[in-house]
Structure 1
């Protein structure tokens, strides 16, 4: 516990009165009770995390943290490492899935260089000063202790900036060639699972690549096994730059009273570490979707979250959460815009 003193903030509880008032309004709206299903639950969740019984459409920010990983040297990815920086450039140009979806959903996007080997010129990204790439987790810890702490503080600061800008909800997005391997390692360590239970094909490795990936994860878990009883050590040894920043972003969401929509397996792995460090964070989380990556189901179960959508997505970037944001916005519009039976002059049941 001494390792996290000063690092893990006090988490602000959700506003139970605002959530209860939203539930009461839902019961009075011009519809049979419960007939809008989970849209009613989502509206109440937004009310609770914002503290506003009628929150209106929430202001949302997508934070996309990008990083490269030393474990790519083990042949765990179907794509070359330079793609990370190239995709960061595509985000900056607005050409990627997450930037298109964010614009459609009315969210802004903040880019973070959490350890990119070849960051593109001319892209406005917050540089948090992490190593490029992180170290090979199959042979040594991915990050040094000062690096993981610095990354968590950077994520918390990003959440603080969002709160100061009037943001209500955050989406944690990521980009990093090879980062499904550290995400699978984190999942296995947190949930006590075997490599076979948590490893998928990521961005499309072939059968030989899948075998290598499982073997690398088994080596990493064996190497770091004596130290995996501490969430911070799990993140430091088996994570990476973007994962540590996103863990800090999740803690910062709780610290500053924001809601956080979880994306796919990589972002959710980082958020799950944050929830291990601060379990009271969980009521501020909403699962945007369920990825086809096998580790994601285990992470959602550990967090006690049920996804809003299931579309067989496996892209990352925050794209699944941004897709779910369209439903969150719709739920809030219904909650605020519908009339009650009394207001419409319609006889209630």
Structure 2
């Protein structure tokens, strides 16, 4: 599915099924609305899937991996080689997201969309556009055609997973320097000042944080990304991983699959996707409130409230893996609780 085809395929949620889900929720043996946001989650899932009893047992976390040329500017405490190492370690099963996804009954899907290394590991989706982006402090990260190719890669991966029967997606990433590119993308698309977006990433010193903010300002000044054109923003100051995740959010909406934001990087991608096609917001669920300051700003702009507040900034899809437990609990309560008819008790009624 091309980008244009995906955009044309994105429609409204199934309002009739959401109404039916609300009727069922109100018939369960509990005070009306007493499960709070769990009820909203279930209604959203019903609207996305068009199913009264949605299933979320086949869960996958898509991890987009790519390098960023801006690391030349000293914006990360990690060497660039870490991207390739961690990408390959995802296949060994001992990274943070591996542990947390196993605990939530999910699998990881690893995609090399631009790692600066020749990775030949069975189990990795090889979709390399190029070995890393160019340095955004000196010019655009990629061409517009490359940005669209990255977006369409995300759409493609979602389509493959849809065919495999996956019914709930999480998003993750790996790429040294990608909190810098995410800060640049988010600052342009939200209008917030760079200082409100930039954080310490993998553990920068105060001096490093100042340099990071200056590099981002320089990149925006040099490239002059058009805030009204999200693809232009991704191409000029983004990364292959962010653009591919943008495609995942658009693809999930096109294929009518619920998809979860992880932390700051995937939130920047979700923001870009929603700017491209506002309707895709209805298919997205936020997982946790990342410790990166820019994540809070994006959530404010999108009008979203994370399910969990754990001060995490690991990335990789780790927050999405944890929030899968919340989704599972919401669906289990909705599907398995008895109704007032089952319990033979009088239904709770609000006071007049």
Shift of residue 228, structure 1, vs aligned partner = 3.6
CA–CA separation in structure 1 for the residues paired with 2:52 and 2:107: 24
Contact 1:289/1:307 (<8 A) preserved: yes
CA distance in 1, matches of 2:95, 2:186: 27
Structure 2: 5+ residue stretches without partners: none
Q: Would you say 1:223 and 2:222 are equivalent positions?
A: yes
Match of 1:328 in 2: 327
Partner of 2:60: 61
Q: Secondary structure at the match of 1:114?
A: strand
CA distance in 2, matches of 1:50, 1:24: 17
Partner of 1:19: 18
Distance 2:286 2:7 in 1: 22
Contact 1:7 1:149 in 2 (8 A): no
Alignment of 1:103 with 2:93, yes or no, is no
2:35 matched residue in structure 1 = 36
Aligned CA distance change for structure 1 residues 30 and 315 (closer, same or farther; 3 Å): same
Contact 2:225 2:236 in 1 (8 A): no
Determine the structure 2 residue equivalent to 1:248: 247
* Pair 19,6 (structure 1): closer, same or farther in 2 beyond 3 Å: closer
Cα distance, 1:347 vs. partner? 2.4
The alpha carbon displacement at 1:33 in A equals: 1.2
Pairing 1:186-335 to 2, within 5 Å after superposition: 186-225=185-224, 227-335=226-334
8 A Cα contact 1:113 1:119, kept in partner: no
Deviation at 1:12, TM superposition (A): 2.9
Please report the RMSD computed on the Cα atoms of aligned residues, expressed in angstroms: 1.5
TM-score if structure 1 supplies the norm length?
Answer: 0.95
Separation of aligned partners in 1, 2:22 and 2:7: 32
6-15 vs 190-199, greater mean Cα deviation:
6-15
Q: Using the TM superposition, give the Cα deviation of residue 225 of structure 1 relative to its aligned residue in structure 2, in angstroms.
A: 2.1
Q: Which SS does the other structure have where 1:286 is aligned? A: strand
Match of 1:180 in 2: 179
Helix, strand or coil at the partner of 1:118: coil
Gaps of 5+ in 1: none
1:140 aligns with 2:139: yes
Q: Distance in 1 between matches of 2:95 and 2:87?
A: 9
Q: In structure 2, how many angstroms separate the alpha carbons of the residues matched to 1:78 and 1:69?
A: 14
Asked if the contact 2:188–2:225 (Cα under 8 Å) also holds between the matched residues in 1, the reply is no
Listed one character per residue, the Cα deviations across residues 101-148 of structure 1 (whole Å, up to 9, x for unaligned) are 212212221110011112544342112131111110111110112211
Over 3 Å counting, the alpha-carbon distance change for 1:56 and 1:226 in structure 2 is closer
Q: Does 1:128 align with 2:110?
A: no
Pair 118,316 (structure 1): closer, same or farther in 2 beyond 3 Å: same
Change over 3 Å in CA distance of 1:82–1:9 after alignment to 2: farther
Residues in 2 aligned to 1:211 and 1:105: alpha-carbon distance in whole angstroms: 38
Deviations 1:33-71 (A, max 9, x none): 122111111111221212111113442211001111000
